[in-house]
């Protein structure tokens, strides 16, 4: 049941997002779109409540409970970021707004961007680990909590790997493409914005 609820929450997220953006830019009903977009967190609350009720009713803690915690952590950390990103693209495509700014591609600006994304992953892992720890305490010694613990380690590993990837952008910043002013002159490397 929890797996199907996770799928339903993910589908619901995208349906509400599409409806909210369509109402905002096609019908120009800004207040209605805000209400639709504010319904997004309700999906996570429903999933959290259903997971808690499932455990309370004596369900053996399993991988689906761990997956639910990871999903909630991800949407807490990246949900608003995703909505803002898609809102910028919808405004550009549907309302004639200028294109949204792209993330930096080179230098330390790119490293800072990647570091910001890593902090979101740390937040996602912290939320997931907190929810999983609450489930461990809730279940207590009466059930097998090994799957919940393994999902805690999965969340921490994901944050660690993402941190290492983000760190590589700071240690070895990507250089901009070479620019030729005239034929035959040496290439000058374009400076990355700081």
Q: What are the domain boundaries of the chain?
A: 2-175
pTM of the model: 0.82
Query: What is the overall mean pLDDT for the chain?
Result: 87
Mean pLDDT to the nearest integer, 8-32: 91
**pLDDT tens, residue by residue, 161-179:** 999 999 999 999 888 887 6
- pLDDT top residue among 136 and 153: 153
- The residues that bridge with 188 in the sheet, in sequence order, are 179
**pLDDT tens, residue by residue, 57-81:** 877 888 888 889 999 999 999 999 9
**pLDDT tens, residue by residue, 121-145:** 999 999 999 999 998 888 777 777 8
- pLDDT top residue among 3 and 182: 3
Closest CA to 71 of 46, 34, 88: 46
Lowest mean pLDDT, pick from 26-35, 82-91, 137-146: 137-146
The predicted pLDDT at position 167 comes to 96
Is 189 a residue whose pLDDT tops 70?
Answer: no
The predicted pLDDT at position 55 comes to 80
The predicted pLDDT at position 85 comes to 92
């Amino acid at each position: 049941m929890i797996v199907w609820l996770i799928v339903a929450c993910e589908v619901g997220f995208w349906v509400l997002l599409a409806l909210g953006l369509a109402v905002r830019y096609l019908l120009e009903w800004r207040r209605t779109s805000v209400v639709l977009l504010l319904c997004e967190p309700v999906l996570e609350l429903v999933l959290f409540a259903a997971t808690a009720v499932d455990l309370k009713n004596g369900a053996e803690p399993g991988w689906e409970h761990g997956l639910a915690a990871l999903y909630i952590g991800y949407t807490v950390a990246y949900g608003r970021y995703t909505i803002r990103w898609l809102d910028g693209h919808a405004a550009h495509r549907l309302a004639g707004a200028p294109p949204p700014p792209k993330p930096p591609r080179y230098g330390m600006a790119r490293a800072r961007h990647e570091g910001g994304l890593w902090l979101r992953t740390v937040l996602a892992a912290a939320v997931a680990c907190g929810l999983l720890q609450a489930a461990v305490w809730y279940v207590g010694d009466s059930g097998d909590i090994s799957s919940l613990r393994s999902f805690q380690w999965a969340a921490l590993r994901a944050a660690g790997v993402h941190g290492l990837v983000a760190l590589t952008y700071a240690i070895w910043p990507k250089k901009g493409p070479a620019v030729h002013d005239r034929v035959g002159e040496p290439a000058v490397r374009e400076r990355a914005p700081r």
